[in-house]
Amino acid sequence: MKRPVTYVLVWAGVFCLAAAFRLPRLSMRPMHTDEAVHAVKFGALLETHAYRYDPHEYHGPTLNFATLLPARLRGQQRFADLDAWTLRLVPVFFGLLVIPFLFWLKEGPGRNTVLAAAFWTAISSAHVFYSRYYIQEILLVCFTVGMIGAGHRFLRTRKFAWAAAAGVFAGLMHATKETAVLTWGAMGAAAFGVLLLSAKTKDRPLRWIRPAHLATAALAALCVSGLLFSSFGTNPAGPRDALAAYKTYWVRAGEAGIHTHPPDAYLRWFLAFRLPESGSPLFTEGIILLFGLVGIVAAFHGRRPAEAGHHILPFLAIYTVTLTAVYSILPYKTPWSFLGAWQGWIVLAGAGTAYGLSSLRRHAGRRIFSLLFLFGSIHLAAQSRVLNFTRADSPENPYVYAHPQGDVERIAERIRSVALAQPEGMDLHIEVIARDADYWPLPWYLRSFPRVGWRSGVDPENPAAPVFLVATELEDDLIEALYEIPPPGSRLLYLPLFEDEMELRPGRVIRGYVRKDLWDRYVRNEDRI
d(CA 29, CA 406): 8
**Which of 48, 51, 16 lies closest to 175 in space, CA to CA?**
51
d(CA 504, CA 439): 7
Per-residue pLDDT of the chain (529 residues; tens, 9 = 90+): 567 888 889 999 999 999 999 999 999 999 999 999 999 999 999 999 999 999 888 899 999 999 999 999 999 999 999 999 999 999 999 999 999 999 999 988 889 999 999 999 999 999 999 999 999 999 999 999 999 999 999 998 999 999 999 999 999 999 999 999 999 999 999 999 998 887 766 666 667 788 999 999 999 999 999 999 999 999 999 999 999 888 877 777 666 678 899 999 999 999 988 876 666 789 999 999 999 999 999 998 755 444 445 789 999 999 999 999 999 999 999 999 999 999 999 999 999 999 998 876 667 778 889 999 999 999 999 999 999 999 999 999 999 999 998 999 999 999 999 999 999 999 999 999 999 999 999 999 999 999 999 999 998 888 789 999 999 999 999 999 999 888 887 788 999 999 999 999 988 999 999 999 999 999 998 877 6
Contacts of 352 (CB under 8 A, 6+ apart): 290, 291, 292, 293, 294, 295, 296, 297, 298
The pLDDT score that the predictor gives to residue 513 is 97
> Whole-prediction pTM value?
0.94
| β pairing state of 508-515 and 430-433 | unpaired
The pLDDT score that the predictor gives to residue 70 is 98
Q: With the C-alpha atoms ordered 310, 311, 316, 321, is the resulting torsion angle positive or negative?
A: positive
The pLDDT score that the predictor gives to residue 208 is 72
Radius of gyration of the chain (CA): 26
The pLDDT score that the predictor gives to residue 421 is 95
Phi, psi of 47 (to 5 degrees): -85, -35
d(CA 75, CA 89): 15
| Residue pair 433/443 in contact by the 8 Å Cβ criterion | no
The pLDDT score that the predictor gives to residue 304 is 46
d(CA 256, CA 486): 43
The pLDDT score that the predictor gives to residue 184 is 98
| Residue pair 122/17 in contact by the 8 Å Cβ criterion | yes
Domain definitions of the chain by residue range: 4-390, 406-528
Q: Is the peptide bond before 91 cis (omega within 30 degrees of 0)?
A: no
The pLDDT score that the predictor gives to residue 526 is 82
3-state secondary structure of 41: helix
* Percent composition of the chain: helix, strand, coil (DSSP 3-state, to 5): 65, 5, 30
The pLDDT score that the predictor gives to residue 308 is 44
The pLDDT score that the predictor gives to residue 303 is 52
Q: Report in angstroms the alpha-carbon separations of 491 from 202, 274, 517.
A: 88, 51, 13
